[in-house]
Structure 1
Amino acid sequence: MGSTTHLVILLVLLLVTSTKAHKRYFSAKYLKAYGYLAPNCGLLPDKSSIECTYSSPFQQLLTVPVLPKDYTSAGTHVIAEVKLGIDSARANKHDTDFYLLLSDGYYANGFGISDRISYEAHHGQPCFHLEGVPGVSLVNRTNHLNGPKVNSNNPVPQQFDFFFSTKQKWGSCITATAYEGSYTTSGHYTTELQANNGLYLDIYSDDDRGEVYNFKYIIVDIQMDY
């Protein structure tokens, strides 16, 4: 099933689901005040973004609760849209790969976000599917390289849009590239998130010393899929 078909399915699901929704905007200042930040993360002096330095491999840098535990009954599914804004200036020059995942405390499904170096050196995708077990560090990681490769001269985008369906065990990443225009990758995960356990948005570091990570804002929109 292609990316276009998945996007059509997602749009149909959004139309037929309940209007009961949770949409939140998390600014850098909010994340500093109310999110969990690792000790090696902090708000920049201009308060425009959160910046984290590398401390340990696949460390949990940030976690934000986005749906309370037991808010839904067991078996209830959700469709989640997540927007992430970053300051991509450093990612265009330095090693700054990181991971964004939606988690229920037991499993985590999400994406790796590549820096400019990785476009040429590794898989050549701005974002790629990844899943694992959440915690202080992300373990049992599995990558799924479902998307097309891009021109290695592309700069790193400033915003990424992610979509998740817990029922389909499916996710997509949409962003913009200078040479290809709109970029989409979509595919399935092997694990199914349980919304009644609570849902969290987690960001993890990669495993390379000297990396610096930057996050400007996060927007989360969750629709119940009855």
Structure 2
Amino acid sequence: MKLGLLVVESVPQARVAEVAIMSPGVDANLPRDREENGESRVSVEVRAESESGQCPISEEEATPSGRLDCNLLNTLANILRHGDLELGHKLLPGGYLFVEEILKGHPGFAGYSLPDIHKLVKVDVDKRFTLMRDIDSGCWKIRANQGHSLVVDTPDIPLVEKNEVLQSYHYTTMASWGHIKEEGLRKIGRQYIPLVNKVPNSFKPHWEVWVQIDVQRAQAED
């Protein structure tokens, strides 16, 4: 089922910037269920997310070389979104893990420390993570804001009511757009499909197509 999907524009490479400025506004998440007749049904949960105190700074502050530490970002995102059964991490409420536990328990974090995590969270314009102190222990904890294949309880992210968000956007490649046209948006092993509620001011190199979602129409099918 292709519900409320519209290609707004194919972005020419000449207009693509190296870093996308993503507004940390509303994420629309489209879980796909299977009905008794075998057809796919799209249900919609639209979640409002705040910046959670994350302050944007220049990329020059991320590492001595002035570049975002992609190795740290990818390793951290993989653990917080998909887990690591061998390490036996137990998620805290809201999908958090203690930073100290992550740094000591995973070989991919050798040489990294808490200040490195702070710098990564601050410089990440896509707001992939929320970093905060645990109220009970006072220790720092971190979570991924979206993209989970793990079942994560996020009670502090309220659902947006129907008719509160009119439209949202999904960014993809031309190759992936061919599958979306045929099959619709799919979770592909994750809990939700994260969307944004505004067109960003600049685009990532692999963003060749942006798809506008009719959120009201999708929610009406829930």
Using the size of structure 1 for normalisation, the TM-score is 0.25
TM-score normalised by the chain length of structure 2? 0.26
- Structure having the larger proportion of residues in strand: 1
